């Protein structure tokens, strides 16, 4: 008998237009892994509302994120693609896990500290509880592997702790998931402040490349990317801007930083940046065309997310029922 495939779960928030960081840190790895695993790829709309969203924008982006998954090469027949809020088990499991998550664990999260600092007094409890919802996402599917960028590592550690805590408090219930963080592309940096992560929530559009940016915009943003006065293409921490551009090439092309450095010996930043822009454009142009085509066919997308929610609900509900029973809730 064929061995049962191991399970992957991952997701992206439709809280802003997706960036090259989301593409290289997450989606591109999902594509590589999709044949070997049973994959659940989710558009995590409930996570997006932990910060205020304009309803029409949230709806548009939710569909666009789904279209980007498919356009990038995620096979929607082999994998389960769905929208988080369509599977209510996520919210329910999240509450059950919230009751065994410690305040200290949540308030210590780097991302919570960063985001809440910008919000003054009106920090929503959702922002604090966000990692517990993420743990619910992952644990409901008996997930073995979670392919994410580096910034999600701490959240994943909490998911592992909560799984172990529940298993110890009751009896073995959850698989303890492992992170999958690739060697290249796991942390694409801000183009204007290359010591910071590239983020879709940044206020400065020159700091990120969007998956849907036009070739002209990509050329402009890369030409304005902050480098340094050293003037030599090298892969070192002293040149974080250049290092980041090399990382982008490597994550797209699957090559090693040394090879990139070698091929730019004796050349300046202008030539280098021109090539970086063209490599990004070549990668994103076919994705953009497919996204536009898919967004023109809403019925097709609806079919995919409805089927996805059905398949996901089946697995998620089984786990949720187990959790409820073990905790002592009376079966309905």
Using rule CB under 6 A, residue 11 touches ligand TYM = yes
Q: Based on CB atoms, which residue is closest to ligand TYM, 151 or 275?
A: 151
Using rule CB under 6 A, residue 9 touches ligand TYM = yes
Q: Based on CB atoms, which residue is closest to ligand TYM, 197 or 221?
A: 197
Catalytic pick from 28, 200, 221, 273? 200
Q: Which residue has the tokens 């142009």?
A: 285
200 is in an annotated binding site: yes
For the record, the structure tokens of 86 come out as 């369509």
134 is in an annotated binding site: no
The size of the interface with ligand TYM (CB under 6 A), counted in residues, is 26
- Long-range contacts of residues 293-300, Cβ cutoff 8 Å, at least 24 apart: 293/71, 294/67, 294/70, 294/71, 295/63, 295/64, 295/67, 298/63
Using rule CB under 6 A, residue 194 touches ligand TYM = no
- What character string, x for contact with ligand TYM (CB under 6 A) and - otherwise, covers 17-56? ----xx-xxx-----------------x--x---------
Q: Which residue in 56, 65, 57 sits closest to 83, CA to CA?
A: 65
Using rule CB under 6 A, residue 240 touches ligand TYM = no
Three-state secondary structure along 64-93?
HHHHHHHHHCCCCCCCEEEEHHHCCHHHHH
Q: Which residue has the tokens 């743990």?
A: 135
How many residues are there in the chain?
Answer: 332
286 is in an annotated binding site: no
**Binding ligand TYM by CB under 6 A: which of 187, 196, 290, 321?**
187
Q: Which residue in 208, 278, 200, 212 sits closest to 68, CA to CA?
A: 212
Q: Based on CB atoms, which residue is closest to ligand TYM, 202 or 288?
A: 202
126 is in an annotated binding site: no
* Bridge partners, residue 9, by sequence: 40
322 is in an annotated binding site: no
Q: How far apart are the C-alpha atoms of 46 and 50, rounded to whole Å? A: 7
Using rule CB under 6 A, residue 308 touches ligand TYM = no
What 3-state DSSP class applies to 240?
A: helix
The distance of closest approach from Cβ of residue 309 to ligand TYM in the complex, given in angstroms and rounded to an integer, is 16
Q: Based on CB atoms, which residue is closest to ligand TYM, 90 or 273?
A: 90
Cα angle for residues 296, 85, 127 (degrees, 5° grid)? 115
Using rule CB under 6 A, residue 149 touches ligand TYM = yes
Catalytic pick from 28, 197, 221, 273? 197
6 a catalytic residue: no
151 is in an annotated binding site: yes
197 a catalytic residue: yes
For the record, the structure tokens of 74 come out as 């995620």
**Binding ligand TYM by CB under 6 A: which of 71, 146, 248, 260?**
146
Q: Which residue has the tokens 């279209």?
A: 67
Dihedral sign (CA 148, 149, 153, 154): negative
- The closest residue (CB) to ligand TYM is 25
188 is in an annotated binding site: yes
The distance of closest approach from Cβ of residue 267 to ligand TYM in the complex, given in angstroms and rounded to an integer, is 26
Dihedral sign (CA 90, 92, 96, 99): positive
Catalytically active residues are 115, 197, 200
Binding residues vs ligand TYM (CB under 6 A): 9-13, 21-22, 24-26, 44, 47, 134, 137-138, 146, 148-149, 151-152, 155, 186-188, 197-198
Binding residues for L-tryptophan: 137
């Amino acid at each position: 008998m064929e061995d049962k495939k191991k399970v992957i779960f991952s997701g992206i928030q439709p809280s802003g237009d997706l960036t090259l960081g989301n593409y290289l840190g997450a989606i591109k790895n999902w594509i590589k892994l999709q044949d070997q695993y049973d994959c659940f790829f989710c558009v995590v709309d409930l996570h997006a509302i932990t910060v205020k969203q304009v309803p029409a924008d949230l709806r548009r982006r939710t569909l666009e994120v789904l279209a980007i998954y498919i356009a990038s090469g995620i096979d929607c027949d082999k994998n389960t693609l769905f929208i988080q809020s369509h599977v209510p088990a996520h919210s329910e499991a999240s509450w059950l896990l919230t009751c065994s998550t410690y305040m200290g664990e949540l308030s210590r999260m780097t991302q919570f500290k960063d985001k809440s600092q910008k919000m003054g007094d009106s920090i929503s409890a959702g922002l604090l509880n966000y990692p517990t919802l993420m743990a619910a996402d992952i644990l409901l599917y008996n997930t073995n592997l979670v392919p994410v960028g580096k910034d999600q590592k701490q959240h994943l550690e909490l998911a592992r702790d909560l799984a172990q805590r529940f298993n110890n408090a009751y009896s073995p219930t959850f698989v303890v998931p492992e992170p999958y963080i690739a060697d290249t592309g796991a942390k694409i940096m801000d183009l204007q402040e290359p010591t910071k992560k590239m983020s879709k929530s940044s206020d400065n559009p020159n700091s990120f490349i969007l998956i849907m940016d036009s070739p002209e915009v990509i050329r402009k943003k890369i030409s304005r990317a902050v480098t340094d006065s050293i003037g030599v293409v090298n892969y070192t921490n002293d040149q974080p801007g250049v290092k980041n551009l090399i990382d982008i090439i490597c994550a797209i092309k699957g090559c090693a930083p040394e090879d990139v450095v070698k091929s730019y010996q004796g050349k300046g930043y202008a030539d280098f940046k021109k090539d970086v822009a063209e490599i990004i454009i070549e990668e994103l142009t076919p994705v953009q065309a497919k996204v536009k085509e898919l967004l023109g066919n809403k019925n097709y997308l609806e079919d995919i997310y409805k089927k996805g929610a059905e398949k996901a609900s089946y697995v998620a509900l089984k786990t949720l029922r187990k959790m409820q029973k073990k905790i002592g809730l009376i079966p309905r």
